[in-house]
Chains A and B, each alone.
Chain A
Amino acid sequence: MLTLILKRMAMAIPSLIGVVIVTFLLTRALPGDPAAYFAGPAATQKAIEEVRVKLGLDRPLLAQFGRYVSDLAHGDLGTSLTTGQPVASELRTRLPASAELTLLGLFVSIVIAVPLGILAATRPNSLIDHACRVISTAGVSLPVFFTGLILVYVFYYRLGWAPAPLGRLDVFFSAPPQVTGFYLIDSLIAGQGDVFVAALKQLVLPALTLGIFSLAPIARMTRASMLAVLSSDFVRTARASGLSSYTVVITYAFRNAMLPVITTLGMVFSFLLGANVLVEKVFAWPGIGSYAVEALLASDFAPVQGFVLTMAVMYVAINLLIDVLYGVIDPRVRLEA
């Protein structure tokens, strides 16, 4: 098991190197003079030269890259022009908001998509099978920001069930004392039931938006993989031995069918992390996505670069985790390693 984990970690290293090189090249591809860019629009010629020396832009590209890597190793992602704060610390304070939303979105989509896929596979060509196909095709066709707006219109404006789409917590509540940064968990730790409910209310619509967007690949994969497993010999044997259909479907088929689904989670995360940016904008969510968007519009590049790098590193880590998880669940993978 340990060899498997180490091997997978070694495989992630080239990806990480690639990510660092690309984020470095992105800044150097900035139109015009990067020094003038980082010095801001009002800078004098002298200030620009100072910035150039300070950022090491007067040195050869390779030396600049070395400096970038060593800054990264010290956890330095540069400073935001608009807020004057170090990018790394701003990302750190905003990350829990994004993580809470993304994970809840994933949870919503799994809770809907997996049963839907199983039902569709056990009753091929039934109403629920067609429903599964329609929902998954519609899910990928709906622009995620549009789904969010429709949900806001229906559940906030029309029905009044949801609170205004303005951030993580209603203004009447104050954030729970920070332990994990996840409001749902922190409020429970602090024993503040009303804060928990308020935070959950704010989370429902954005998480549902993300869930609808990402359930299509999970539902499709669950259905296809369940269909394949249900027609295999061991399921036939289990049926012939007189096991109840529940035992056959859930204990025998489902556990085997989940393996390809876990692999697709990697792709689902790629969607989720991207969609997160759009959902955060719709719901004024104070996460790293909206931070990057604000910086983008202000032509403030350091936060954008830090954001792209953070997202990519997280994505590589998630893929690594999925691979390891796969090995934990499926002993055959461990034997191969």
Chain B
Amino acid sequence: MTDIAVAQRHDGGLSALLRHARYVVAENPVTGFAFALFVLIVLAAVIGPEIVPYNPLSSDTSQALQPPSAHHWFGTDQLGRDVFSRVVVATRLDFVIAVASVALVFLMGGLAGVAAGFFGGWTDRIVGRIADTIMAFPLFVLAMGIVAALGNTVQNIVLATAIVNFPLYARIARAEANIRRDAGFVEAARLSGNSDWRILTFQILPNVFPILVVQMSLTMGYAILNAAGLSFIGLGVRPPTPEWGIMVAEGAAFMVSGEWWNATFPGAALMVAVFCFNLLGDGLRDMVDPRRRT
């Protein structure tokens, strides 16, 4: 009996959310468009390697630097590799780097910020000082330094991207936790004998969660740009692995001699992905918090 009631309530919540989502999409068709793009990107990331017409790593020098044609939609690169296949296959790596770094900073920054806002005092001071120190650096420069120091690997690109975003998450989580610290429902939970940690996990975190999720989609675009920028200057991903940033870097030399497709298509893919995440983030924010709309 209770199971049915719970199921019904969940169902009601979900359908209400869907209704609301449909309303937001109808109100702002751009969000709908962004969502369609997002589905396409996820699809490319998941099944891309299975459906591409060519092996992204197999070179064929007799076909080197062919302009876009019916056989090679995006042309071929200096080793005769199919640019279209490489761009599609690269989606997975770029997407995974962005998602991983955003998830990591969500955990680090979100938890540290919530703890700082809830406990105040020393926790707050330490988290605030760490965030301020990170903010004292130009972010991309700090990311370069971190990757240089920790070693030139993809994992460290993820870590560096997460660290430079830390202050943003910590500050938002801190502010949101702080205003709920003395809220009625927290007092009630405390009076009924819940420990601080229990209140933090079961009362505060679920409330701060949606705001941080919006922040995640807003920073996804930045995370992809940051990671691609690092691989553009030769950090992290190494050739011949297909990745958008490194493909643009490899194609850069051919831009001045007119073989534009080599760098343009991966660059455009990068741009579309970032554009999509930014629009989607704006749309999500409208859904969760309509007041912040600009």
B208 at the A/B interface (Cβ < 8 Å)?
no
* A278 touching B138, Cβ below 8 Å: no
Residues of B within 8 A of A282 (CB): 252
Closest to B263 in A: A149
Choice from B137, B225, B264 contacting A150 with Cβ under 8 Å: B264
In the complex, identify which listed stretch (B38-46, B143-151, B171-179) lies at the interface while the others stay far away.
B143-151
* B229 touching A140, Cβ below 8 Å: no
Residues of B within 8 A of A291 (CB): none
* A19 touching B232, Cβ below 8 Å: no
Provide the A2-18 mask, 1 if CB < 8 A to any CB of B, else 0: 00000000000011101
* A224 touching B294, Cβ below 8 Å: yes
In the complex, identify which listed stretch (A239-247, A299-307, A327-335) lies at the interface while the others stay far away.
A299-307
Once the chains are docked, how many angstroms separate the CA of A249 from the CA of B220? 37
* B145 touching A26, Cβ below 8 Å: yes
A258 at the A/B interface (Cβ < 8 Å)?
no
Once the chains are docked, how many angstroms separate the CA of A64 from the CA of B136? 23
A331 smallest CB distance to B (angstroms): 28
In the complex, identify which listed stretch (A39-47, A65-73, A309-317) lies at the interface while the others stay far away.
A309-317
Closest to A282 in B: B252
B7 at the A/B interface (Cβ < 8 Å)?
no
Once the chains are docked, how many angstroms separate the CA of A301 from the CA of B233? 16
Residues of B within 8 A of A138 (CB): 275
Q: Which of A15-73 contact B (CB under 8 A)?
A: 15-16, 18-19, 21-23, 26-27, 29-31
B289 at the A/B interface (Cβ < 8 Å)?
no
* A143 touching B270, Cβ below 8 Å: yes
Known: A149-B263, A274-B138. A308 touches B145 (CB 8 A): yes
Once the chains are docked, how many angstroms separate the CA of A178 from the CA of B208? 56
A148 smallest CB distance to B (angstroms): 9
Known: A153-B260, A316-B136. A308 touches B141 (CB 8 A): yes
Once the chains are docked, how many angstroms separate the CA of A143 from the CA of B222? 10
A45 smallest CB distance to B (angstroms): 23
A281 at the A/B interface (Cβ < 8 Å)?
yes
Residues of B within 8 A of A271 (CB): 138
B221 at the A/B interface (Cβ < 8 Å)?
yes
Closest to A224 in B: B294
A127 at the A/B interface (Cβ < 8 Å)?
no
Max chain B CB contacts within 10 Å: which of A146, A274, A301? A146
Once the chains are docked, how many angstroms separate the CA of A15 from the CA of B136? 6
B132 at the A/B interface (Cβ < 8 Å)?
yes
Once the chains are docked, how many angstroms separate the CA of A312 from the CA of B278? 28
Closest to B136 in A: A15
Provide the B202-241 mask, 1 if CB < 8 A to any CB of A, else 0: 0000000000000000000100010011001111000000
B193 at the A/B interface (Cβ < 8 Å)?
no
Provide the A137-176 mask, 1 if CB < 8 A to any CB of B, else 0: 1101111111001101100110000001100000000000
Choice from B229, B233, B235, B256 contacting A143 with Cβ under 8 Å: B229
B225 smallest CB distance to A (angstroms): 6
Known: A23-B145, A141-B278, A296-B148. A308 touches B140 (CB 8 A): no
* A274 touching B140, Cβ below 8 Å: yes
Known: A157-B255, A308-B142. A18 touches B136 (CB 8 A): yes
Choice from B140, B150, B274 contacting A275 with Cβ under 8 Å: B140
A257 at the A/B interface (Cβ < 8 Å)?
no
Once the chains are docked, how many angstroms separate the CA of A296 from the CA of B271? 26
Residues of B within 8 A of A274 (CB): 138-141, 229
Known: A14-B132, A137-B278, A145-B248. A270 touches B138 (CB 8 A): yes
Chain A contact residues (Cβ within 8 angstroms of B): what range? 35 or more
* B149 touching A27, Cβ below 8 Å: yes
A273 at the A/B interface (Cβ < 8 Å)?
yes
* A146 touching B294, Cβ below 8 Å: no
A110 at the A/B interface (Cβ < 8 Å)?
no
Once the chains are docked, how many angstroms separate the CA of A263 from the CA of B258? 42
Once the chains are docked, how many angstroms separate the CA of A249 from the CA of B85? 53
Once the chains are docked, how many angstroms separate the CA of A305 from the CA of B41? 37
* B248 touching A143, Cβ below 8 Å: yes
* B279 touching A137, Cβ below 8 Å: yes
B218 smallest CB distance to A (angstroms): 11
Residues of B within 8 A of A140 (CB): 221, 274, 278
* A144 touching B229, Cβ below 8 Å: yes
A211 smallest CB distance to B (angstroms): 17
A262 at the A/B interface (Cβ < 8 Å)?
no
Residues of B within 8 A of A153 (CB): 255-256, 258, 260, 264
Residues of B within 8 A of A292 (CB): 144
Residues of B within 8 A of A142 (CB): 271, 274
Residues of B within 8 A of A272 (CB): 138
Known: A140-B221, A220-B294. A26 touches B146 (CB 8 A): yes
B69 at the A/B interface (Cβ < 8 Å)?
no
Closest to B251 in A: A149
A71 smallest CB distance to B (angstroms): 18
* A141 touching B275, Cβ below 8 Å: yes
B residues with CB within 8 A of A: 129, 132-133, 136-142, 144-146, 148-151, 221, 225, 228-229, 232-235, 245, 248-249, 251-252, 255-258, 260, 263-264, 267-268, 270-271, 274-275, 278-279, 294
Q: Would you list the 7 A-B pairs with minimal beta carbon distance, nearest first?
A: A274-B140, A18-B133, A146-B267, A273-B138, A308-B145, A141-B275, A26-B149
What are 6 pairs between A and B in contact, CB < 8 Å?
Answer: A18-B133, A137-B278, A138-B275, A143-B228, A145-B245, A157-B256
Extra A-B contacts (10), CB below 8 Å, given A277-B233, A292-B144: A19-B136, A23-B145, A141-B275, A143-B225, A270-B139, A274-B139, A296-B235, A297-B234, A301-B148, A308-B142
